[in-house]
């Protein structure tokens, strides 16, 4: 089927994907704009997964001060090349993630960065709660596992729903940018500063 160039242009503006990728996505989805956006997101994430092993040693430190000057965030995000790290999309992504951190207050970037003692303590508390609920013992582990998933979603930046669109996780945003840029993008670390609080 022939794809109207106006639709290709609109899809490109909405997703930032290349012209040929937009044309292919529209052809694959019968010209349906929403399905084409989903197609591009999925293919971008798939290609991002292939790049995940590549070293990302360039990047930027983003500094965000929340209005009122009571909360500040320092964030390091890496890419493979300095060229990508200087693009508007990369800079915008860093800013959005830093603002998200100020609002959502994650404790770590990912699960692997959480303190093992904190995880063990949380599991112990949840297990005691489940035991006290009177539920049969054979379902305790499954319930604790489900509640730990919620704990990780609240505590780990990559698993948090984005404050601007809760249907999208921060990891999805990272994969989208990686797919768009054609490079591995890594959120390396962050620090939150609040007036009157230590650490």
Whole-structure pTM over 0.85, yes or no? no
CATH number of 58-110+156-194: 3.30.479.20
pLDDT of residue 3: 78
pLDDT of residue 23: 84
Rounded to 5 degrees, φ, ψ at 195 are -55, 130
pLDDT band at 22 (very low <50, low <70, confident <90, very high): confident
Residue carrying the six token digits 């949840």: 126
Three-state secondary structure string covering the chain: CCCCHHHHHHHHHHHCCCHHHHHHHHHHCCCCHHHHHHHHHHHHHHHHHHHCCCCCCEEEEEEEECCCCCEEEEEEEEECCHHHHCCHHHHHHHHHHHHHHHHHCCCECCHHHCCHHHHHHHHHHHHHHHHHCCCCHHHHHHHHHHHHHHHHHHHEHHHCEECCEEEEEHHHHHHHHHHHHCCCCEEEEEEEEECCCCC
52/66 Cα distance (integer angstroms): 31
pLDDT band at 46 (very low <50, low <70, confident <90, very high): very low
Q: Each residue of 75-108: pLDDT tens digit? A: 999 998 889 999 999 999 999 999 999 999 999 9
Is the pLDDT higher at 49 or at 113? Answer: 113
Per-residue pLDDT at 110 exceeds 80: yes
Per-residue pLDDT at 48 exceeds 80: no
pLDDT band at 168 (very low <50, low <70, confident <90, very high): very high
The residue ranges of every structural domain in the chain are 5-51, 58-110+156-194, 115-154
Residue carrying the six token digits 């509640």: 147
pLDDT of residue 186: 93
Per-residue pLDDT at 42 exceeds 80: no
pLDDT band at 37 (very low <50, low <70, confident <90, very high): confident
Per-residue pLDDT at 14 exceeds 80: no
At the second CATH level, the architecture of 5-51 is Orthogonal Bundle (1.10)
pLDDT of residue 1: 62
Question: What is the Cα Rg of the chain in Å?
Answer: 20
The answer to whether the CB of 22 falls within 8 A of the CB of 12 is yes
pLDDT band at 16 (very low <50, low <70, confident <90, very high): low
């Amino acid at each position: 089927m022939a794809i109207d160039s106006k639709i290709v242009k609109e899809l490109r503006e909405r997703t930032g994907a290349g012209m040929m990728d937009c044309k292919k996505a529209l052809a694959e989805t019968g010209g349906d704009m929403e399905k084409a956006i989903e197609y591009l997101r999925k293919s971008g994430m798939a290609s991002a997964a292939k790049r995940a092993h590549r070293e990302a040693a360039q990047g930027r430190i983003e500094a965000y001060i929340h209005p009122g000057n009571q909360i500040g965030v320092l964030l390091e995000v890496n890419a493979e090349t300095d060229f990508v790290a200087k693009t508007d999309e990369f800079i915008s992504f860093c800013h959005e993630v830093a603002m998200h951190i100020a609002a959502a207050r994650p404790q770590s970037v990912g699960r692997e960065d959480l303190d093992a003692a904190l995880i063990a303590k949380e599991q112990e508390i949840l297990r005691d709660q489940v035991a006290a609920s009177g539920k049969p013992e054979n379902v305790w582990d499954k319930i604790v596992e489900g509640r730990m998933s919620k704990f990780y979603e609240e505590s780990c930046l990559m698993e948090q729903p984005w404050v601007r669109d809760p249907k999208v996780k921060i990891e999805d945003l990272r994969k989208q940018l990686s797919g768009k840029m054609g490079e591995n993008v890594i959120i390396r670390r962050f620090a939150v500063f609040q007036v009157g609080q230590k650490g």
